[in-house]
Chains A and B, each alone.
Chain A
Amino acid sequence: MREFLIDTFSIFSVYEGAILFATPFLLMILLSAYSFYTLKSRNLVYIFILSFLSQLLIFTSISYLIQYSFGAVTNGFIQIAFYISVMIWTISSSLLFSQYKEEAGKKRFDPDHVTRAHFRSILDNGVVITLVSLALMVFLSRDHRIVITTAFISSLLTLALTHLIARWLLKEKSKRKNARK
């Protein structure tokens, strides 16, 4: 486990591991609490928690796989990749929150509107991340390329998975509502 954490995240002590994971965890808690407080939506909270956990899982696997294939990044830069991926998750989640809030303000709440708007925005995000990563990667050394590739692939997968989770949970909600009617 120790070797795995060192290889994947460059974590060398419990203290370092705690501060690395505490930051995104705190962000997730704040975002979930705020959305529950303002929109009273449990579904949105579940979406944030599930997508956050999936993000951790995706980043760990991608970082491990890439470093296993192309060699370890020995400096602490892989942690920056982790925070870039967390930042992109935060942007995607805040967009979902904003779209949900807008739809919740309407007379008839249609989850399809939320998921479609979210899909459009994450598609744009995905293209932007791809373009920037590819343009910058050309000029960089091996370590930086690995860091950007890890951030880029894990962010794309997280965006996609967040969307799928949102679609699944919001559609479930609308199905339950329709069944009740």
Chain B
Amino acid sequence: MKLNFRKPKFLFRKINVRKVFRSILLIVFTSYILVGTLISLPQVDQYLEVEQYDLASKHDQYWKKSYILELKVSKDKKDAAIEVEKVKNVIHKRLNHFGVEEVKIVESDYKKSEAETSEVELNHDTKYLKVTVQSTKAQDATEVLISTRNFFRFYIPKDDVNFSDTNNQLAPYLVENYISTDFTRDSFRNILIKKLPTDSGTEAYFAIFKPWPHKTKAFNDMMKDQAGYLIGIKYDGFISPYRVSSEFFIDRVGSSTNTSQSSNNGIRPEFSIAVSGDKESAEVFDLLYNSGVIPVEFQMVNTEELETDRAEIDYMEVLLGVTVSVIAIIFYFSAKERRFSNKNFIFGISLLLVTITWISILKIYNIAIDLDILLYQSLILIGAGATLVYREKEDHIVDFIMLIAVIIMAVSTDGYAKLFAIGFLPLITALIVAIPLTKIYINNMNRLITK
């Protein structure tokens, strides 16, 4: 019997691979929007009875405190005003770089108690500054930045002093055993904080003193003279001994024998001291050394715990407000154009895409944020979105200028404004990317539905 065998036609031949691929992408994109919306909706965890992953707010992390600083300023009123302003600027700079959200520094009419005012000062006047701080940053580190002057001066030991005498172990800590030098913070262009290996094989953060070019020779000469010996650095009244590296000695021998490649393969030795083993303390030291010089002596005389005054914002209400405003904007543009155009979909979906991505990231990684700042970001995001979608002619220069503006703001602002700009930068970038993506999505969706 002869079998009539027909070659089967493969289904693949009839399938349009491009169309399938496009459909899969559309399904993935739509699923992403649906899942993202579900994740970013408020209080979803309660409805689904799963573990808590609601948006974490920074609200409870805030603490507020005020500090009174007593400044010993010049008798001359003009000089005193300049000194007070310098102190305010340096403390503000330190706290700003540390990321403290809210700082207020004002002159205070603080009155000391009678027991405290017994000391009679003839050479200077006393002024008081009130520093009020509201922040989520580490309180101890913030207090160090406010209360420490960190003014230093280099001291060299007197010729007749023997620091190796075991009977007088306190000798290196007594200022009368040293001679003062001219090298203070003003002599250095920068104090570089860097992680370096220690003699014991571990790693620690070191402060490397980088003198101004016109002071380099004098400083290096002093270091060469003291190579291998102890010198003193007086910080805010207390002297600490540090041993000068013997590399300076090798450098001295090298230069006396007229060899240019004297030591360390031609690298000049630099004076450095170990400051800290952990990164957080090293950051504080960096700010103390490199935020400017406080010109007068001061001390903290009073502190006061205060109630935080950050108004709590309801995430649900903010979301409702944003949704209402987006719908109102779509109505406005539909009424203006007298038809419901694709632009409305692009506007709505691109904003939705950016919002759900951002909130999902915050929720999944449990990143705490300021809800009030998120509110301001959403305000300007909607404005920017409407401009980019409903403009008459596409010109990428507008996107570019917006992006540059936000980058400048993120880099050069402080406090809440910095938080606002830093958070807004990924949002505006995502929006610029999301708009063309949404256009492609809607065009393909249209094609799929209408065919």
Bind each other? yes
**Could you tell me which A residues sit within 8 Å of B by CB distance?**
6, 10, 12-16, 19-20, 22-23, 26-27, 30-31, 74-77, 79-80, 82-84, 86-88, 90-91, 93-95, 97-98, 101-102, 117, 120-121, 124-125, 127-129, 131-136, 138-141, 143-144, 147-148, 151
Q: Given A120-B392, A124-B386 in contact, is the A19-B414 Cβ separation under 8 Å?
A: yes
For residue A10, which residue of chain B has the nearest CB?
Answer: B104
Rounded to whole Å, the gap between the CB of A153 and the closest CB of chain B is 14
Q: Given A98-B397, A128-B382 in contact, is the A79-B325 Cβ separation under 8 Å?
A: no
Is the beta-carbon distance between A141 and B328 smaller than 8 angstroms?
A: no
Q: How large is the interface on B (under 10, 10 to 19, 20 to 34, 35 or more residues)?
A: 35 or more
Rounded to whole Å, the gap between the CB of A120 and the closest CB of chain B is 7
Q: In this assembly, does B383 line the interface, its C-beta being within 8 Å of a C-beta of chain A? A: yes
Cβ-defined partner of B402 (8 Å) among A10, A91, A131:
A91
**Which of A14, A87, A93, A138 has the most chain B CB atoms closer than 10 A to its own CB?**
A87
Is the beta-carbon distance between A79 and B332 smaller than 8 angstroms?
A: no
**Beyond A80-B420, A94-B398, A128-B387: 9 further Cβ-contacts under 8 Å?**
A13-B88, A26-B408, A84-B379, A90-B401, A91-B384, A129-B383, A131-B328, A132-B325, A144-B313
Q: What 3 pairs between A and B have smallest CB-CB spacing?
A: A135-B325, A139-B317, A94-B401
B104 partner residues in chain A, CB cutoff 8 A: 10, 12
Give a binary string over B390-403; 1 marks a CB under 8 Å from any A CB, 0 the rest.
Answer: 11110101100110
Is the beta-carbon distance between A102 and B413 smaller than 8 angstroms?
A: no
Is the beta-carbon distance between A31 and B309 smaller than 8 angstroms?
A: no
Is the beta-carbon distance between A144 and B89 smaller than 8 angstroms?
A: no
Query: Which residues 317-363 of B sit at the A interface, judged by CB distance below 8 A?
Result: 317-318, 320-322, 324-325, 328-329, 332-333, 336
Is the beta-carbon distance between B408 and A23 smaller than 8 angstroms?
A: yes
B106 partner residues in chain A, CB cutoff 8 A: 6, 12
For residue B383, which residue of chain A has the nearest CB?
Answer: A128
Question: Chain A binding site: helix, strand, loop or mixed by DSSP?
Answer: helix
Bound-state Cα–Cα, A33 to B196, Å: 44
For residue A92, which residue of chain B has the nearest CB?
Answer: B387
Q: Given A19-B413, A98-B397, A135-B328 in contact, is the A91-B383 Cβ separation under 8 Å?
A: yes
Cβ-defined partner of B321 (8 Å) among A88, A139, A141:
A139
Bound-state Cα–Cα, A138 to B375, Å: 13
Cβ-defined partner of B376 (8 Å) among A15, A76, A84:
A84
Cβ-defined partner of A15 (8 Å) among B93, B320, B417:
B93
Cβ-defined partner of B401 (8 Å) among A16, A31, A127:
A31
A76 partner residues in chain B, CB cutoff 8 A: 101-103, 415-417
Bound-state Cα–Cα, A40 to B329, Å: 36
Rounded to whole Å, the gap between the CB of A134 and the closest CB of chain B is 8
For residue A16, which residue of chain B has the nearest CB?
Answer: B92
Is the beta-carbon distance between A79 and B395 smaller than 8 angstroms?
A: no
Bound-state Cα–Cα, A153 to B44, Å: 37
A10 partner residues in chain B, CB cutoff 8 A: 104
Is the beta-carbon distance between B384 and A131 smaller than 8 angstroms?
A: no
Is the beta-carbon distance between A125 and B383 smaller than 8 angstroms?
A: yes
Is the beta-carbon distance between B421 and A83 smaller than 8 angstroms?
A: yes
A79 partner residues in chain B, CB cutoff 8 A: 413, 415-417
